[in-house]
Structure 1
């Protein structure tokens, strides 16, 4: 937005930011909030603290201290943002989307920086990685949370962590544990998720999928071909064991039961998938534009997952989707939804991940999500939260100007509509 557009929206922006006023200990500190947010919403070519401060006519050092030193409650700010979404954009048909963002950084001082896979460049780079939870319903989407992924090399070097202001209690955690904490926090703050979806980086983590099922959270997860299971459930018997010092019945597979197979092997060898005709679907790709459609061929079956002990466990949907324009591109999905859930509903959730990619793209291009420049963890954490607040304002204004509500249904599911602002045709 240019200066004229910001001035026109200034009353609306002021009312919006006043909802976060009690997260600041003093009015002097609170006064920096509109400076930073207006800078993020502006048409500045670079939206780090320095150019924002210079454009607003405030000392650069002051705005830098606002991010990394001044006292205010950034956790309360994030909670307030989520409560605003819960109160004013809630829908029983919403989708939570889990993904990560990466930013190339120079040097060794940026918190969490190291040579690691960098999604934004598609190769291993010196970068930082942040884990995010997004919320989408109909044509509305926003980021609810973001947290730094702390590599093991950093976690093991506490002197380096203290120099970057990383708390001693913050240690290396797998990304799925970080996002599970984000999910729990959002649920506590009243965010409703009909569905969760995520890529195979998270779908490959069995403990994560089990944790979601224990929380009664439906998901559609992209999974790697190395995942295993049975399309025909195996038979289980039991035998006595003397290992514990007393006789006990121990379940095991019968001798004639097959071991679980990889899902790509099931596709090619098991009659339920091998002999099943491909069903063709046209799916609108919102990330590439409203007029771009992709054609996918899909097969579906119910699959039984194995436990660590190799015994049958949870029964899940297995979807296999093949790109008609590139048959080498095959995607596999698991879902713990009720068995009667239509395949169209599962597909629409599975192919809604473009919404979080759009959030990242918009926030980097329009808000300056990747423009943070600093060496203190607190500054990065606050920047992530402030960027989400700025983007939520843009999302709300877009919805308001379009004259639409964020709960319109487009596709029937087992329990009603699923408003995702997308289309799918069989």
Structure 2
């Protein structure tokens, strides 16, 4: 997606979009800074630091924009709640997928909050960076960022003075990325976002505690897993003559107790289970159109029982999905595990597990066009406020694409606080319907 660049003057529809968020700010000067900062993120400015935007935008300066991030009192979580509730009404078709992932923000030195030498999937290597865990909503018509939180390495959490200097909230302790993702999920659901399925890559799919947490929350999911992750073949379990077969599926809720029958079936890696499948079990599936035609690979599905996290929870039943290139094409074999999605056919599951590209595209757009990684401050509040404003700007664009063409208001109209919203019913009201075409993919949630 190419993000259109705004001009330097206030956008009438942006001012209307920001009006509910202005209630979080007590002073008119702060509400003006909110509009200027968001406009700066959308504008054609090479670097989206507070100082650079302050120099380029009329009616403000770098100090005022910086104070919006560091000195002005406003609650990031409250802004996210308002935005999620608004987007849930105006930018959602049914219950779509909530994608979890993380991205690296390169940093120099060791003073910026959360910075460390750590692996960044964005960089593809271990490097000096911050890592941001975030979630992203996608369905047939819309996709938009939901919320985010910085991952704090354990060495940061073991240094109270360092935490205090970076203004990390009191009581913040070490959490895995999966634990942070569960917190973000809870916050999104509390804000009113209906989620049909959670989707994540193997960095989260390999965390048994994360999957246990989703199952305890009765939340279906489809995640990538590493080839070494072990499962029990549910067909072998049912075929064992020593005990009556288990129920056809576990259902949702807490993982049930494993039977003696299951315990006798040897665990096998995802790689071994997929490799053992006969050729007739594989199906060719195309899930969406790419730049060079339909994206097509071969898939196989295997009913399996997932092992619990360090024995704390007992196995749960789901589907292991194997993916391989079509004959004559090169590529790696990939593995996925789905739980609570038994009603979905294989093509629908394939379409679901491949919606992760939406969050990867968001990271590209947010960094390349909206300045996600341009924040130069060192403290927790400023970083999270900058991230929240980037997500606010991206959500504005998602609504603008759905409800009307991007436009810049005439100077006299932009200067008037009574200016009407722009054409096409934007910002949206309950009486307007979006006109964005449905995404080209298989059926199901997305």
- Interval of TM-score (by shorter of Structure 1 and Structure 2): 0.7 to 0.9
Q: Is the 8 A contact 1:23 1:74 kept in 2?
A: no
Shift of 1:408: 4.5
- Structure 2 residue runs of 5 or longer lacking an equivalent are 244-256, 406-423, 425-433
Residues 126-145 of structure 1 mapped to structure 2, 5 A cutoff: 126-145=128-147
Name the counterpart of 1:21.
22
Distance 1:2 1:406 in 2: 20
Is it true that 1:160 corresponds to 2:167 in the alignment? no
Q: Which has the higher strand share?
A: 1
Q: Is the 8 A contact 2:237 2:262 kept in 1?
A: no
Q: How many residues align?
A: 396
- Secondary structure, aligned partner of 1:173: coil
Shift of 1:345: 0.9
Name the counterpart of 2:61.
59
Task: Kindly provide the CA deviation profile for residues 230-285 of structure 1, in whole angstroms up to 9, marking residues without a partner as x.
Answer: 22117688xxxxxxxxxxxx98746993321111111233xxx2354321122336
Is it true that 1:348 corresponds to 2:351 in the alignment? yes
Is it true that 1:261 corresponds to 2:265 in the alignment? no
Q: Is the 8 A contact 1:319 1:334 kept in 2?
A: yes
Structure 1 residues 198-207 or 303-312, which shifts more?
Answer: 303-312
Distance 1:26 1:252 in 2: 63
Shift of 1:311: 9.7
Instruction: Classify 1:54/1:310 alpha carbon distance in 2 versus 1 (closer, same or farther; 3 Å).
Output: closer
Residues 242-261 of structure 1 mapped to structure 2, 5 A cutoff: 253=260, 257-261=264-268
Name the counterpart of 1:242.
none
Name the counterpart of 2:334.
331
Instruction: Classify 1:117/1:299 alpha carbon distance in 2 versus 1 (closer, same or farther; 3 Å).
Output: same
Structure 1 residues 197-206 or 332-341, which shifts more?
Answer: 332-341
Shift of 1:109: 1.0
1:367 is aligned, of 362, 367, 370, to 370
Name the counterpart of 2:409.
none
Q: Is the 8 A contact 2:6 2:42 kept in 1?
A: no
Task: Kindly provide the CA deviation profile for residues 79-103 of structure 1, in whole angstroms up to 9, marking residues without a partner as x.
Answer: 1111111121232241111111111
Residues 151-230 of structure 1 mapped to structure 2, 5 A cutoff: 151-230=153-232
Instruction: Classify 1:369/1:217 alpha carbon distance in 2 versus 1 (closer, same or farther; 3 Å).
Output: same
CA RMSD of aligned residues (A): 2.6
Distance 1:129 1:285 in 2: 31
Shift of 1:218: 1.4
Instruction: Classify 1:214/1:175 alpha carbon distance in 2 versus 1 (closer, same or farther; 3 Å).
Output: same
Distance 1:312 1:169 in 2: 31
Shift of 1:412: 6.8
Distance 2:321 2:258 in 1: 30
Instruction: Classify 1:312/1:38 alpha carbon distance in 2 versus 1 (closer, same or farther; 3 Å).
Output: closer
Name the counterpart of 1:245.
none
TM-score (norm 2): 0.82
